[in-house]
Amino acid sequence: MTTLTAEPLPDSLVARLALTDQGLADRLQHGLADAETRLREVAADVPNALVAEWSRYLIDAGGKRLRPLLVLLAAEFGAAASEDRSDRVPDAAALVELIHVASLHHDDVMDGALTRHGVPSASARWGNRAAVQLGNRLLIRAGRLAADLGDEVVRLQGVAAERLVRGQLRELTGAAAGESPLTHHFTVIADKTASLISLALRVGGTVAGVPVPAVRALAEYGEYLGIVFQLSDDLLDFVADPAESGKDAGIDLAAGVRTLPVLLALSEDGPRAAELSRLLEGGPLVDEGGRRRAVELLRSSTAEARARELLHSYATDARDALSDLPDVPARAALAALVGVVEHRTS
């Protein structure tokens, strides 16, 4: 094992899969539209009009809707669509996206991020107190949806939410004594990112009655895809054009987060690594000049090439995890999605 502005429209991820099966393409488009309707209904389901507007803000701003798409693709491995399933799958997709949006509100508070999905973050717009409560509200709303989907979904959601928070906390504490920074980093990204991506696949499979061994394979795929997603996100922090990514450049550096490319650049010998180390030793790089210099040092190091190699190896692991699944059109779509995530530019 080895170890996106205006955001694109929700359907652009499906378009990039270049699906050859028209039936699957249609089901995904309809499923995503239904999930979107549920997501917006549930988020805005509150008597106070301003709270409803604030709750919808980041959802309306966009996002790739990767997690809802994964829910729908996992559900494809279940029995043929039934009346019952047709309601449960979009609810499951909305549930996972709600947790994701909730975590973004909290993440933007933690990172002091000014933009998200190409618009001011909720914390920049209404302050940290509002953003924290919006995150709480969406998370709790997700919990209510989970309760309607059954005990197993509640359990899965609890496990994933705990991992999310644990990942964030471990990022804050840094590596334990004697733990390698790289091992620490991979544990953090598995918990803070892969947990939710894997949850999407588990929940989609569970609500659609997919056999347990197949749900397990889908979840394993999700764990690898999650790492690919986070590593490509870490690269985008310093290689992406903010106009395309919808986020400020160097935000991870500003927050003092040592992502994989940073760890790799620091492990090089020579004056550039030493300069980067000096710049980062004071913690968060709040000073804009220092941040720009750190981005330059990263861009001129071998970190990007080495991180891309690792990224590629996890992408291969993700595709391999699909090998025992039945050869339905969704399997090829999941394989294609790995390449899209690996090479994303936003």
What is the binding site for ligand FPP (CB under 6 A)? Answer: 99, 102-103, 106-107, 110-111, 113, 135, 139, 161, 164-165, 168, 192-193, 233, 247, 251
> Cβ closer to Mg ion: 78 or 246?
246
- Nearest CB to ligand FPP, comparing residues 218 and 254: 254
The nearer residue to ligand FPP, 27 or 291, going by C-beta atoms, is 291
Please check whether residue 210 is in contact with residue 75, taking contact to mean a CB–CB distance below 8 angstroms. yes
Rounded CA-CA distance 33/45 in Å is 18
Does 171 sit near Mg ion (CB under 5 A)? no
Q: What DSSP element (H or E) covers 287?
A: none
Number of residues near Mg ion (by CB under 5 A) = 2
In whole angstroms, the minimum distance from the beta carbon of 203 to Mg ion comes to 24
Choosing among Mg ion, ligand FPP, none, which partner's interface includes residue 90 (Cβ < 5 to 8 Å by kind)? none
Residue 168's binding partner among ligand FPP, Mg ion, none (Cβ under 5 to 8 angstroms by kind) is ligand FPP
Q: Which is nearer to Mg ion, 73 or 253 (CB)?
A: 253
Q: What is the DSSP letter of 116?
A: E
Tokens of 239: 């290689």
Instruction: Specify the residue, 31 or 62, whose C-beta has the smaller distance to Mg ion.
Output: 62
CB of 22 to ligand FPP, least distance (A): 33
CB 122 within 8 A of CB 105: yes
Between 123 and 206, CB nearer to ligand FPP:
123
10 Å CB burial of residue 3 (0-12, 13-18, 19+) is: middle
Segment near Mg ion (CB under 5 A); pick from 57-65, 104-112, 281-289, 312-320: 104-112
Site for Mg ion in 186-215 (CB under 5 A): none
| Burial category of 182 from C-beta neighbours within 10 Å (exposed 0-12, middle 13-18, buried 19 and up) | middle
Which of ligand FPP, Mg ion, none lies near 222, with the C-beta cut-off 5 to 8 A by kind? none
Smallest separation, CB 107 to Mg ion (Å)? 4
Q: Is residue 234 a contact point for Mg ion (CB under 5 A)?
A: no
Nearest-angstrom CA–CA distance, 49 and 52:
5
Any contact of residue 107 with Mg ion (CB under 5 A)?
yes
233 binds, among Mg ion, ligand FPP, none (CB under 5 to 8 A by kind): ligand FPP
Give the span between the Cα atoms of 247 and 33, in whole angstroms: 26
In the complex, the smallest distance separating the C-beta of residue 23 from Mg ion, rounded to whole angstroms, is: 38
Tokens (6 digits) for 308 = 């891309």
| Three-state secondary structure readout of 215-283 | HHHHHHHHHHHHHHHHHHHHHHHHHCCHHHHCCCCCHHHHCCCCCHHHHHHHCCCCHHHHHHHHHHCCC
DSSP-assigned states of every residue in 166-216: HHHHHHHH-SPTT--HHHHHHHHHIIIIIHHHHHHHHHHHHHTT--HHHHH
Per partner kind, with CB cut-offs from 5 to 8 A, the member of ligand FPP, Mg ion, none near residue 133 is none
- CA-wise closest residue to 17 among 293, 237, 344: 344
Cα gap 88→149, rounded to integer Å: 7
| Binder of residue 192, out of Mg ion, ligand FPP, none (CB less than 5 to 8 A by kind) | ligand FPP
Give 75 or 194: the residue with its C-beta nearer to ligand FPP: 194
- The nearest distance, CB 77 to ligand FPP, in angstroms, is 26
State the minimum distance, in angstroms, from the CB of residue 251 to ligand FPP: 6
Stretch that binds Mg ion, among 34-42, 102-110, 176-184, 283-291 (CB under 5 A): 102-110
Minimal distance, residue 183 CB to ligand FPP, in Å: 18
CA distances from 246 to 6, 69, 251, 330 (A): 6, 21, 12, 29
Tell whether residue 111 is a contact of Mg ion (CB under 5 A).
yes
Closest CA to 85 of 208, 205, 206, 204: 208
Give the interface with Mg ion as residue ranges (CB under 5 A). 107, 111
